[in-house]
Every structure is written in C-alpha cells, then in structure tokens.
Amino acid sequence: MPLTGIEIFKLLPKTNCKECGEPTCLAFAMKLAAGKAELSACPYVSEESKAKLAEASAPPILPVTIGVGDRAFKIGNETVMFRHEKRFENPPAFAILITDTMEESEVNARLERFSQLQYERVGLTLRPELVAIKDESGDVSKFEALVNKVKQNNDSSIILMSKNPDILAAGLKSCADRKPLIYAATEENMSIVADLAKEHSCPLAAKASSLEKLALLTTKLTESGVKEIVLDSGARTVRRAFEEQVIIRMSALNKKFRPLGFPTIVFPCEMTDDPMKEAVIASMFVAKYGGIIVLSDFQGESLFPLLVERMNIYTDPQRPLATTEGIYEIGNPNENSPVLITTNFSLSYFIVSGEIEASKVPSYLLVKDTEGLSVMTAWAAGKFVADAIGPFVKKCGIEDKVKRHTLIIPGYAAAESGGLEEELPGWEIMIGPRDASHIPAYLSTWKS
Ligand code: SF4
C-alpha cells in the first residue's frame, strides 16, 4: 500500500528549508503522496528514507519504454484524469497489425504504408510507432521469418504477439535488441513468459478476462521481478473496453491501486470489421486512455486525423506550441530576397511560411521567440516590439545574408515601424499585410 502524506512526512528532514519549492516539509509530503511531486526535489532525504519512500514516490501509472534509439517511446506516467488538470504526458502509440498467415504481398503493402504514412505538421513529424507481429499459424519458423522481415524492412518498434511462449522466444531471438513488447502473459503461461521478459529486459503485456484477474496477474508478475507491464483487460466490445480504461485510470490515480498502475494496450482492430468505425473507436482511446492502440491497417484518411488528434490532446494546455527562434529559408533565397518577420507561435509560423511558399518569391522568414504568442498578443505583451525585435535582427545573422536590408513586419505590428527604424539603422522597414493570406499578393510586387 502507498504511504499516506503523514507517513511520508515522518521520513522527511522536517527543516522546512523550502528548497523543494514547497513552503514546508508537510506540504511536500502531501504532494508526494498525491503523486504530484518528485522525491528528487528534496536534496536532504536520507538513503534509508529514500528506500522507504520509493513506493510512495513512484508515479501512479508506471512508465514503460518500448523500442530503442530514435524509435524508442514511452507510455504511461500519467498523473491526471483530465487534460485540463495539468496535461497528459506520453501520447499513445499506434500499431499496425501483420500476421504470419497473411499473403506476402499484403505484408509488404502494410509495411510500405507503415513507412510511408508520416506527416509534417507544426514542425513535428507525425507517424505511427509500432508493428504488431501476430502468430496465427502456430509455426515457429514462419513467425521468426516474419519478425526478421519486419526488422530488415524498417527500424520500427515491435510487438510480438503469440499465446505460445516457444514462438515468443523465437521472435525474441530475432529482435530482442529492439526491445519489443511481449504480448502476452496470461494466467496459463505467466511464469515462462515472465522469464522471457526478464531474460531479454523487455516490457511485457499482461492479459486477463476481467480487471480482478488482471490485478492478480500483475501482482504476481511484479512479485516475480517484471517491472515494465502493459495492461490488456481482455475487453473486445467498445463499451466494456471504454469503461475498463476509465476504471483502470481511476483506480491507479484516485485509489493508488498499484496492480492497475500501468499503461494499457487496446485493440480497435478486434472490435469491428468496418475500417472507419475502427478509426472512430481508436480516436476514443486516444482521448481515454489507451497506451498502445492496435489497428488492423493504416490508411491515410484515417491515420492522419488520429495522429493530429493525438498531437492536439497531448500538447501542454498551459503552453502554446512554439517554433524555434531563428532564420528560416523559404524557396532558396539569395542576398536580394525579402526578409519577413513573425513570432514563434507555431500556427503563425506555419501559416506565414505557407503563404510565402505559395507566393513563389524566395524569402527569409525571421522567427522571433515570443514564448509562443501570436503577433497581436505578443505585441500587446511587449514581446514583439521594436526594442525586442531590433536586437534579435542584429544578432540572428540575417545582416550577413542579405545585401538589401529591408525588413517586412506584420501589419498588426505597424506601430513598431518608427521604433524599428531607430533600432535598426540602415534597414528599411516595410509594413506587410495584416492577414497572412495577402502575403502572396504583397510579395508579387517585390523587386530584387
Ligand atoms: Fe523539507 Fe526537503 Fe522540502 Fe526542505 S527540501 S522543505 S527538507 S522536503
């Protein structure tokens, strides 16, 4: 059982030094008990107390890492039921299903879609993460061959799916270095599959037919030394799966019920035969509370909205999406190209850069760090004004790139033009359009 706030308090130094950011040790203890603080924030806890506090300070939903290198991703570690309470931490991963009874052409087509379907949006690459390789044939060599094929085809992370521990062992022989998710330990095969997970240091999915049985199973797995567990409650109807996702999250966060304090895996691919319904079900699990979402196939028209939904839900609601400050070259500009400036609110950047691209006039776009605020908001907040823009233009290096020093500022920041002429001697300040959609017409008059 996790420790209460008072029990934690007894183990703290009780000096109220405030270095953890809390006014008292008691306040820190209460936050720790609620899973809203990290023990490492207090530098004075003794080693002995640390060991005792490890249980209380562990996140209510333990993180699980699948994969290695650039393609590794983390699920779990969530601390809230609702995004507006703080934020959701680790986006769910999307997996495409392939089986060892599929025609080779179908396997190839799915792997091709897995690799091809990725999108650039607001400076991020949106793409799926996992290939779920399922044993349907019961044939060890067929499964192993398929695992090898996936491994050679791409660097994706992998789920190995079989009821048979021998087949899972064969798959692991081929791809343990990718740190795949082993699916799944059940009541029947628990000890053998747990040994595989420990031997290869891989995360393990636990599957049972009810939440009660699942809690018993994860308790046994944890006692046997398996640390990274992913939960499958076994539900394959939409309603039951949805209810159980909510119950799992509530039990872990509100009741601190450790046996269900792990991320989950869900299977929209087993809940309907209709691809669009499957996408709708998947979208529900993006919001509530799938850790891995396994789809029967990927199609651009359903995958893209899911990726965008995921991106939107897993952004921090307290922080606007921001682009990195700097000089962006659009369409191979040269020393005679125009120089425009905007703020680093991602939406502003992408709309402005898109319109510049549409104008077909090669340009430099300067992006000024305004803490993710849009032009008008940043201007009103004093972050996009002459004495902030001027020093940025001087230090960003644009003066070395262009011969003609003409800076085009957004129409909404027109009031800064006078101040900028003072801040940037030698620069001509031009007032651009207020609305980005007018940029192509505006730039069409540009003469190098
Ligand atoms: Fe107490 Fe540690 Fe926080 Fe200091 S840093 S107030 S000792 S909990």
pLDDT for residue 266 is more than 90: yes
pLDDT for residue 72 is more than 90: yes
Q: What is the mean pLDDT of the chain?
A: 94
**Does 17 sit in the ligand 1 pocket, CB within 6 Å?**
yes
Q: How far is the CA of 20 from the centre of ligand 1 (A)?
A: 5
Mean pLDDT, rounded, for 210-232: 97
Specify burial of residue 409 (Cβ count, 10 A radius: 0-12, 13-18, 19+): buried
Length of the chain: 448
Specify the DSSP element, H or E, that contains 33. Answer: helix 25-33
Specify burial of residue 220 (Cβ count, 10 A radius: 0-12, 13-18, 19+): middle
Rg (the chain; Cα; Å): 27
- What three-state secondary structure class fits 264? strand
Cα-to-chain-centroid distance, residue 176: 24
Mean pLDDT, rounded, for 397-426: 95
- pLDDT for 297 equals 96
- pLDDT for 56 equals 64
Cα-to-chain-centroid distance, residue 184: 24
**Which amino acid makes up residue 443?**
L
Q: In what order do the strands lie in the sheet with 265-266?
A: 229-232, 204-207, 181-185, 157-161, 130-134, 93-99, 292-295, 265-266
| CB burial readout 229-243, b (16+ within 10 A) else e | bbbbbbbeebeebbe
**Does 30 sit in the ligand 1 pocket, CB within 6 Å?**
no
41 CA: nearest ligand 1 atom: 5
- Give φ, ψ of 73 to 5 degrees: -145, 160
- pLDDT for 1 equals 54
**Which amino acid makes up residue 391?**
P
**Does 22 sit in the ligand 1 pocket, CB within 6 Å?**
yes
- pLDDT for 39 equals 85
**Does 13 sit in the ligand 1 pocket, CB within 6 Å?**
yes
DSSP 413: G
Give the predicted TM-score (pTM) of the model. Answer: 0.78
Cα-to-chain-centroid distance, residue 126: 10
DSSP 40-53: GG-TT--HHHHHHH
Mean pLDDT, rounded, for 178-189: 97
